[in-house]
Structure 1
Amino acid sequence: MAKREFNSNAEIVFTCGEAFHYKGEMMVEEHCLVRVLSGELKVIHADKTYVFGAGETHLFPRNQLATLVKYEKEGLPYKAIVVKLSNTDLKDYYALHPFKPTIALSGKIARFGKSPLLDSFFQSLLPYFELSNKLPENLSKLKITEAITILRTLDKHVDEVLADFSEPGKAELTAFMERNYMFNMPMEKFSYLTGRSITTFKRDFKKAFHTTPQKWLIQKRLELAHHLLKEQRRKPVDIYYETGFENLSHFSFAFKKHFGYAPTQIENK
């Protein structure tokens, strides 16, 4: 599950999976443009799963919950280049290229097909990861601007995503949590994504569910795990992470405490 990251600077990252199978969860506050170089990346949202192979590029929007599963493919580990498009860089860009979003598209991953523009852009970044020092800031700015320009050329709707600097609005709490309880995120992230302070989030949660967020999340995740084990005949080692548990031992302990028997004994129940 280890991974390495080589940074030219904070905004342009080369990531290389040392393991051949890696799982992790992600909620970034910046848009990320990702080119998979080798291996395969599965991005699991609450309602849709995306799979990206070598040579494919996608734009991962900010403030979205997802589980990432990185696989080896054809004997090669997962490798990718990630270009972060920060709000600061985007605001600087759109100050010179004014655009006012009229529709909200920020919740969807944008997949980009084969493009000589994207190919040449990512190829130009590879030598930077061999530098012993950080990439000069002015050069980094040029590459970020180049990335934004290419995206605007390839997708006429991308401005609606990149130029939207609004923060999450106050979401309907019950529906949001029912859709996203399996993501193992800090409570502060859940509160932020529902447009609440942590104090208001806990208060509204108690009113909606008549229990604490921690107790409710554990119960929901264990119920999902029980369903996957019992009805789909899956193994504990294959489902503990996607049901929101950090490791197998924690999952097994919580499962036995709640149901009275170990997850490996479910076939006998």
Structure 2
Amino acid sequence: MGYQAHYIHPDLKLSRFDDKFYKADVLFEHHLLVWFISGETKIVQGENTFWFGAGDTLLFPRNQLVTVINYPKDGLPHQSAVMHLTPKRLTDFYAKNRVDVKPMPTPAFRTFDRHPLLKSCLASLIPYFDLNESLPDVIAAIKIDEAINILRTIDTDIDHLLANFDEPGKISLTDFMEQNYMFNMTMDKFGYLTGRSLTTFKRDFKKTFQTTPQKWITNKRLELAHYQIREKKRRPSDVYLEVGFENLSHFGHAFKKRFGYAPTELAG
């Protein structure tokens, strides 16, 4: 069995992965607070890779690209409890808790060092997942407000992230694509995140890189894979997902077409 999502409320779910691993390039429309219950998670953001396991808590900011790979571990499936901090919930919360929002650099996901307050918040949620009925909205609202207040208590800068409802503005295409070409996103999404319509994105891309987005992205991924295999001595099977390929066979074919030899030859 693969992925299962048990929603007790539109903003609260229990996720479970039973397969060997699950990989996805994700772009969330709103912030997610995630408690890892079992299994292991690998997150790739830009050139950085992070590992998390049972007991860890993360906040994924909205509109940020990351690659997430979930693994079962120690005979247990990968399980996590997920709370959606939607714009509606946050707008209602900050209407009652007004703050002055300061500009922030591009937000990265945040970790909270297994903080006991967040641990107790998760512990209070777990019994609700055994319900055979939906959780009333009034109770869900109480739990979500509790989580937001805990985040504000342990991270004094969190308001500047959670209370910022601005949409992405027009940014440098070169800088953004150099940092995010390994993510499998539609051209519409790439355009949105750079503050452009699809038509403007394609036009600006052609002007900037003198080629199409797909050709440029594929070439950049192959160059990164080549570097990882040759310089970092990594195996092709450990690299292809991270650089943006979904299939090892397709990766090997594209690699050989680009460089004239198979990735296994370079690794050997």
Q: TM-score scaled by structure 1?
A: 0.92
CA distance in 2, matches of 1:163, 1:267: 48
Could you tell me how far apart the structure 2 residues matched to 1:141 and 1:244 are? 37
- Report the counterpart of residue 78 of structure 1 in structure 2: 78
Do the aligned partners of residues 106 and 24 (structure 1) sit closer, same or farther apart at CA in structure 2, a change above 3 Å counting?
same
Partners of 2:74 and 2:130 in 1: how far apart? 26
| Structure 1 residues 38 and 226: alpha-carbon distance in aligned structure 2, compared to 1, 3 A threshold | same
**Residues 165-184 of structure 1: pairs in structure 2 closer than 5 A:** 165-184=165-184
Q: Which moved more, 1:215-224 or 1:41-50?
A: 41-50
> Are the counterparts in 1 of residues 8 and 129 from structure 2 also a CA contact under 8 Å?
yes
1:39-118 mapped onto 2 (5 Å cutoff): 39-104=39-104, 107-118=107-118
- Distance in structure 1 (CA, Å) of the matches to 2:223 and 2:155: 41
Residue range with higher mean Cα deviation, 69-78 or 59-68? 69-78
Name the counterpart of 1:125.
125
How big is the shift at 1:97? 1.2
| Counterparts of 1:213 and 1:56, CA distance in 2 | 37
Task: Give the match's secondary structure for 2:103.
Answer: coil
Normalised to the residue count of structure 2, the TM-score between the two structures is 0.92
Hey, what does 1:145 align to over in structure 2?
145
| Matched positions, count | 268
Separation (CA, whole Å) in 2 of partners of 1:41 and 1:231: 25
Give CA deviations for 1:63-103 in whole Å, capped at 9, x if unaligned: 11111122344443322111110011100111111122113
Secondary structure of the residue aligned to 1:133 is coil
Gaps of 5+ in 1: none
Shift of 1:237: 1.8
2:217 paired with 1:206: no
Identity fraction in percent: 50
- Counterpart of 1:161 in structure 2 is 161
Question: What's the CA shift for 1:267?
Answer: 5.2
CA distance in 2, matches of 1:206, 1:85: 37
Residue 47 of structure 1 and its aligned partner are, at CA, apart by: 4.0
Mapped to 1, the partners of 2:189 and 2:75 lie a distance apart of: 36
Distance 1:60 1:178, change over 3 A: same
Counterparts of 1:190 and 1:259 in 2: how far apart (Å)? 27
| Distance (Å, rounded) in 1 between the aligned partners of 2:239 and 2:207 | 31
Task: Write the letter of the residue equivalent to 1:223.
Answer: E
SS in 1 for 2:14: strand
Q: Does the CA contact (< 8 Å) of 2:234 and 2:267 recur in 1? A: no
Q: Hey, what does 1:193 align to over in structure 2? A: 193
1:126-172 CA distances to partner (integer Å, 9 max, x unpaired)? 12222223222222222211111111122111101100001112111
Change (3 A) 1:169 1:250: same
RMSD: 1.9
Contact 2:42-2:70 within 8 A present in 1 as well: yes
Partner deviation per Cα, 1:208-229 (whole Å, 9 max, x = no partner): 0001101101111111122222
Q: Could you tell me whether the CA contact under 8 Å between 2:59 and 2:111 is conserved in 1?
A: yes
**Structure 2 stretches of 5 or more lacking a match?**
none
How far, CA to CA, are the matches of 1:246 and 1:63 in structure 2?
22
1:266 has 2:266 as partner: yes
Secondary structure at the aligned position of 1:8 is classed as strand
